[in-house]
A and B are shown apart, each in its own frame.
Chain A
Amino acid sequence: MTTIADRIDRLTAVIGRAAAWLVFVVVALQFALVVARYVFGLGSVWLTETVIYAHAALFMLAAAWTLQAGGHVRVDVFYADASARTKALVDLVGALLFLLFFMLVLIWLSVPYAARSWAILERSQEASGLPFVFALKTLIPLFAVLMALQGVAQAIRAATVLARAR
């Protein structure tokens, strides 16, 4: 079972680390936009939307890896001083009841949502914008799948701790 968790961890980490470079893309392109606007008086809807796409992809794809790395805030009042067993119990119940349940429902809701966009190859509402709105909307089910996978890994690890403690 833990090999499955290891594989999931590797997958989300590879995707998350790759998505982290989008931070640099956002910084560089947004700065380029500022230079273009204030130095040359130019604007580009196309480039502006690229920054928004990069930003959206950044957090949608890095969220699962952040969960793995423990980067999502918890209320630490009791959790910080709890025993490893209690922490594992919280993580197991949370992963199954909150994370997996929510992400599965989100997959169920967002796949048809993205599919409608694919069916018409939806493009930006701006005439000179990017024609890839369907790709942007696909990030939602992708995000939900990655999070759900990470939830499975979290549940497996927590269950392992609990089983060992018994």
Chain B
Amino acid sequence: MLLAEAFAILMVATVVAALMAGYPVALTLAGVSLIFAVFGGVLGIMSFAILGALPQRIFGVMTNEVLLAIPLFIFMGVMLERSRIAEDLLETMGRLFGTLRGGLGISVVIVGTLLAAAKGVVGATTVTMGLIMLPAMLRFGYDPRLAAGTVAATATLAQIFPPATVLVLLGDQLGNAYQAAQLSKGIFSPRSLTVSDLFAGALVPGFALVLLYLLFLVVVAMVWPKASPALPPDPKAPRGIALIRRLAEVLVAPLVLIAAVLGSILGGIATPTEAASIGAVGAVLLAARKAPLATLLKPVCEKTAQIVSMIFLILIGATMFSLVFRALGGDDMVHRALSNLPGGATGAVLAVMLAIFLLGFVMDAFEIIFVVVPIVTPTLLTMPGVDPVWLGVMMAVNLQTSYMHPPLGPTLFFLRGVAPPQITTRHIYVGIIPFVMIQLAALVVLWFVPALATALPNALYRH
């Protein structure tokens, strides 16, 4: 069996190396795995017949009801982008807080959080914020490092703030792993883990991160006032009652939308898929105020179709990878390695967290969730004291951190692509450092205080 396991390790290394070449990830995963399956079959260390299971696995992906929430949430996000809510919100929020020192930065974090919650896809959030908010901050004399860091960090909140796409995918995978883990322990009426549990679990840590970001901006404004100056008062701007009315106008609709979607999920009234369809229709209504629906629908449907295809093709590629990895005995090898680590459950979770953090430099969150999570979590969840919601939230915050970590964090590349020319790569890298420290601190706190993640879902769903 040793040869097979060496082969499995070689396959993982080859996948990572091949990915760096830049061919689409999903197809690289599928292709490399297939090539290894062929060699494995020829060498007699795995049965090629195992590939016969592939069509049924793909059929399983096609008919997965949990993942039905994905197209709906993505449609909602793309539609909201067209509704130009971001622009309206930033303008009004900027008026509200702008005349305070650090106020514009605070507005950016608040608006960015709303956007992240509504969109759920980091790339889209980064691009919108980079195009709208970064130029505004620079225009009013913000330090380019602070501006770039604030925008990049806030945009990655889309990874963790419910209803994040990442949490839906993670919830699906963890749910399966949790069932498998309990069955392997001989529990035949297993408890379930749902996407709703994960949404509830991520809410408090998400808000805590936002608060820490805001706190950091306030401290910077006090200690180093030049970096985030107050905006000069604009005589033409509405103020007093007029400003409040304007604020209500732009703020109420998106807040109602987010509250309706999240509230119905967290209240246990609706499944994420049901809530997502309400959000999608709500987004249509919001966008219809800005542009005729007939012109919106086609581009929004096409953009959504491409993002959905992208995600599911990775899932198909990852399915192929898992099939071959399992046939080579890779699962057993990982199980043994994790079980034999010093420190028991603590050591195993720590090792997985470190691996995810490092893999996050080269792989997208989607790939990690589809490839790594199904391999490691069935083992982790059989260990004493590892709560599935806590593990999921830790993984989500971890993935979010590696998303913004220099030098390879994808958010930094997205931002680099849309930032105005006076922002250099160095500005972005230096600016993000304090936020990465905040993230790592949050992970440490979450490690020692699991209740931050588990208390809300326990109160809501597990009486």
* B72 and A27 form a contact (CB under 8 A): yes
For chain B, residues 51 to 67, give those with C-beta under 8 angstroms from any C-beta of chain A.
Answer: 51-52, 54-56, 58-59, 62-63, 65
A84 to chain B, nearest CB (A): 13
- Chain B residues with CB under 8 A of A1: none
Q: Write the chain A residue with the least CB distance to B282.
A: A31
Indicate the member of A23, A31, A55, A90 with the most B CB atoms within 10 Å. A23
Total A-B residue contacts, Cβ distance less than 8 Å: 187
Tell me if A's interface is mostly helix, strand, loop or mixed. Answer: helix
- Chain A residues with CB under 8 A of B278: 31, 34
- Chain B residues with CB under 8 A of A65: 306, 309
For chain B, residues 28 to 87, give those with C-beta under 8 angstroms from any C-beta of chain A.
Answer: 28, 30-32, 34-35, 51-52, 54-56, 58-59, 62-63, 65, 68, 71-72, 75
* A102 and B31 form a contact (CB under 8 A): yes
Q: Is B280 an interface residue (CB 8 A)?
A: yes
Q: Is B244 an interface residue (CB 8 A)?
A: no
Tell me if B's interface is mostly helix, strand, loop or mixed. Answer: helix
* B274 and A30 form a contact (CB under 8 A): yes
Q: Is B437 an interface residue (CB 8 A)?
A: no
In the bound assembly, the distance between CA atoms of A16 and B304 in angstroms comes to 12
* B23 and A94 form a contact (CB under 8 A): yes
* B309 and A52 form a contact (CB under 8 A): no
* A113 and B55 form a contact (CB under 8 A): yes
Query: A81-120 vs B: 1/0 string, CB under 8 Å?
Result: 0100001001101100111011001100110011000000
* B301 and A98 form a contact (CB under 8 A): no
- Chain A residues with CB under 8 A of B311: 59
Q: Is B277 an interface residue (CB 8 A)?
A: yes
- Chain B residues with CB under 8 A of A37: 274
Please tell me which one of the listed residues A67, A79, A99, A101 contacts residue B22 in the complex, with CB atoms under 8 A apart.
A79
* B31 and A98 form a contact (CB under 8 A): yes
* B25 and A75 form a contact (CB under 8 A): yes
Please tell me which one of the listed residues B28, B32, B75 contacts residue A23 in the complex, with CB atoms under 8 A apart.
B75
Query: A56-69 vs B: 1/0 string, CB under 8 Å?
Result: 10111011011101
* B306 and A55 form a contact (CB under 8 A): no
In the bound assembly, the distance between CA atoms of A140 and B24 in angstroms comes to 20
Q: Is A165 an interface residue (CB 8 A)?
A: no
- Chain B residues with CB under 8 A of A106: 54-55
- Count, chain B residues at interface, CB 8 A: 62
Please tell me which one of the listed residues B25, B34, B62 contacts residue A102 in the complex, with CB atoms under 8 A apart.
B34
* A101 and B35 form a contact (CB under 8 A): yes
* B313 and A72 form a contact (CB under 8 A): yes
Q: Write the chain B residue with the least CB distance to A108.
A: B51
Closest 10 pairs between A and B when the two form their complex, measured CB to CB: A98-B31, A79-B22, A94-B23, A20-B305, A56-B62, A72-B24, A30-B277, A113-B55, A71-B306, A66-B309
Residues of A within 8 A of B (CB): 16-17, 19-24, 26-27, 30-31, 33-34, 37-38, 51-52, 55-56, 58-60, 62-63, 65-67, 69, 71-80, 82, 87, 90-91, 93-94, 97-99, 101-102, 105-106, 109-110, 113-114, 136-137, 139-140
A-B contacts, 21 of them at CB < 8 A, read A20-B306, A23-B75, A24-B301, A26-B72, A26-B75, A27-B277, A31-B277, A51-B68, A52-B63, A59-B313, A72-B310, A76-B22, A78-B22, A79-B21, A79-B22, A94-B31, A101-B31, A110-B58, A114-B55, A136-B59, A136-B63
